[in-house]
C-alpha cells in the first residue's frame, strides 16, 4: 500500500462519522442520532428555530391557556394542535360564540336605556303615586263626611222640625241620657226644643249614667233651672255622681229600688309612666313658663306642692256639688248632705230613706207625676203620648251620623280632668 492509499484510508472514517452526526433539520427535524452524555446535555439546551417548531410552540401555548381558563369565564372549544403552517389562525376580533348548550341573552329591540339621573327621577315618580292617591282618598272621605252631616241637619230641620209636629194633642217630652257624659250639646238641644214646643206640657229626664265631665253637667243643670215646664227625673240602673247632680235640678225624682245613686264627690285622675319609661330607656323633658305648668304630667312624679294645688281645685268643685245638692234637696240640711257627700253609693231604696229621691218607680210613675204637675190631674185611662228625644236629631241625622266618630281618633274626642263620675270596679 502506497503512502497515498494509507492517507485516504485514514480520512474515510472521519467523513462518514461527520455525515451521520449532522442531520438535515429540514428533512428530519425529529430524529437525532445517539450522542454522548456531554453532547446530549448540550443538545437539550439548544433552541429549535425551524418554522415547524415555532408552530408547535404556539399551538402548545394556546392549548395550555385554554385548559387553564378560570371557571367563571366561558370555556373555549379545545382543538387539536395545528401543525400546518399555511392554515389561518383564529382572529381575536371575531365575536364570542357561546357553547351549544348555552342560550345567549336576547336584548329587546325597542328597549331604551335611561341615564342614571332620569332613572332616579322615574323611580321617585312611581313611588309618589301611592301617596297622592292616599291623600286624594282622604280628602274625598272628609268631604263626604262633612256633606253627610250638613245633609242630615237639613233633613232633620225639614222633616222633623218639632218632636210633636202635626199633632195638637198634649204630649210629654222624654229626654234620654245614657252613658258617660262628655258633652252637653245634644241634651241641651232636646230640652230647649221641648221648652219651645207648645204641645209639650212636661218633660221627663230619663237618666242611666254614672256621671261624667263637670262642665257638661253644670251646663245641663243651668238650662234645667231656666225651664218653665215641670221636669220629672226617672233614674235607671245607674244615676250616680253626675247623674245625681242632674237629678237634683228636677222637680221630682223617681228611682228604682235597685238603682245605684249617690257617689257625691269629684275625682281627678292622673297616670304616671316613669317606671315603664325607665325600663324602656325613654326620657321626657318639658320646657314650661312656670313650675306648675306641667302639673299632672305622666312623664314624671308629681311633687307635693302640685298635689296640694290639685287638691284645692278638687275641693272647690266639690263644694259646688254639695251646694247644688243642698239647693235641689230642700228637705236636707247642709250637715245631712255633707254626711252623705263622701263618695259612697246608695241603692234606690236607701236613697229614698235618706231623702235623696222622692219616690220609687219607673217611667209610668214619672209620667203620672209629670202630667199632674203640669195639669193638676192625671187620667190613667187616657194618658198623653210621650215623645222621645236623646239629642241626636231625627231619623236621617241618626242614620248618617251613627259613625260620625269614625274619622276622629279617640285622643281628639272631648276629654276632661275633673269629673262627677262613679266607676264601679276601679
Catalytic residues: 241, 293
**CA atoms of 397 and 148, how far apart (whole Å):** 9
Q: Is the dihedral of CA 30, 31, 36, 39 positive or negative?
A: negative
Give the β-pairing of 171-178 and 211-213: unpaired
Beta-bridged to residue 347, according to DSSP, are 260
Decide: 390 and 186 in contact? Cβ < 8 Å: yes
Residue 254 has which C-alpha cell?
A: 223617681
**CA atoms of 414 and 420, how far apart (whole Å):** 15
- Give, for 386, the enclosing helix (H) or strand (E): strand 386-389
**CA atoms of 273 and 255, how far apart (whole Å):** 41
Beta-bridged to residue 414, according to DSSP, are none
Q: Is the dihedral of CA 329, 332, 338, 340 positive or negative?
A: negative
Other CB atoms within 10 A of residue 230 CB = 20
Burial class from Cβ neighbours inside 10 Å (0-12, 13-18, 19+) for residue 287 reads: exposed
Amino acid at each position: 500500500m502506497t503512502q497515498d492509499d494509507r492517507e485516504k484510508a485514514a480520512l474515510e472514517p472521519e467523513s462518514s462519522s461527520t455525515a451521520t452526526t449532522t442531520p438535515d433539520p429540514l428533512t428530519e427535524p425529529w430524529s437525532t442520532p445517539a450522542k454522548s452524555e456531554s453532547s446530549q446535555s448540550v443538545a437539550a439546551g439548544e433552541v429549535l428555530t425551524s418554522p415547524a417548531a415555532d408552530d408547535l410552540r404556539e399551538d402548545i401555548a394556546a392549548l395550555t391557556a385554554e385548559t387553564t381558563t378560570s371557571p367563571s369565564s366561558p370555556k373555549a372549544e379545545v382543538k387539536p394542535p395545528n401543525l400546518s403552517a399555511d392554515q389561518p389562525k383564529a382572529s381575536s376580533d371575531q365575536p364570542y360564540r357561546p357553547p351549544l348548550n348555552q342560550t345567549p341573552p336576547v336584548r329587546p329591540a325597542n328597549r331604551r336605556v335611561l341615564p342614571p339621573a332620569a332613572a332616579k327621577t322615574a323611580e321617585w315618580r312611581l313611588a309618589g303615586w301611592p301617596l297622592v292617591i292616599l291623600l286624594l282618598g282622604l280628602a274625598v272621605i272628609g268631604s263626604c263626611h262633612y256633606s253627610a252631616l250638613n245633609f242630615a241637619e237639613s233633613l232633620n230641620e225639614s222633616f222633623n222640625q218639632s218632636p210633636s209636629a202635626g199633632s195638637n194633642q198634649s204630649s210629654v217630652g222624654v229626654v234620654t241620657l245614657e252613658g258617660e257624659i262628655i258633652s252637653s250639646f245634644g241634651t241641651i238641644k232636646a230640652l230647649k226644643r221641648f221648652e219651645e214646643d207648645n204641645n209639650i206640657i212636661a218633660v221627663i229626664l230619663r237618666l242611666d249614667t254614672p256621671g261624667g265631665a263637670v262642665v257638661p253637667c253644670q251646663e245641663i243643670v243651668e238650662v234645667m233651672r231656666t225651664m218653665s215646664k215641670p221636669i220629672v227625673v226617672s233614674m235607671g240602673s245607674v244615676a250616680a255622681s253626675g247623674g245625681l247632680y242632674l237629678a237634683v235640678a228636677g222637680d221630682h225624682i223617681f228611682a228604682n229600688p235597685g238603682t245605684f245613686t249617690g257617689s257625691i264627690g269629684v275625682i281627678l285622675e292622673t297616670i304616671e309612666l316613669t317606671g315603664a319609661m325607665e325600663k324602656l330607656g325613654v326620657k321626657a323633658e318639658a320646657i314650661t313658663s312656670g313650675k306648675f305648668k306641667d302639673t299632672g304630667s305622666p312623664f314624671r312624679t308629681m311633687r307635693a306642692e302640685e298635689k296640694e294645688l290639685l287638691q284645692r281645685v278638687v275641693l272647690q268643685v266639690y263644694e259646688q256639688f254639695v251646694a247644688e245638692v243642698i239647693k235641689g234637696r230642700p228637705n236636707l240640711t247642709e250637715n245631712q248632705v255633707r254626711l252623705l257627700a263622701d263618695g259612697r253609693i246608695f241603692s234606690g231604696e236607701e236613697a229614698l230613706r235618706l231623702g235623696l229621691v222622692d219616690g220609687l218607680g219607673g217611667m209610668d210613675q214619672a209620667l203620672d207625676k209629670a202630667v199632674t204637675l203640669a195639669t193638676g190631674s192625671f187620667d190613667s185611662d187616657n194618658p198623653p203620648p210621650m215623645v222621645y228625644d236623646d239629642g241626636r236629631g231625627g231619623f236621617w241625622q241618626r242614620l248618617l251620623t251613627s259613625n260620625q266618630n269614625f274619622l276622629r281618633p279617640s285622643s281628639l274626642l272631648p276629654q276632661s280632668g275633673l269629673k262627677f263620675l262613679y266607676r264601679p270596679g276601679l
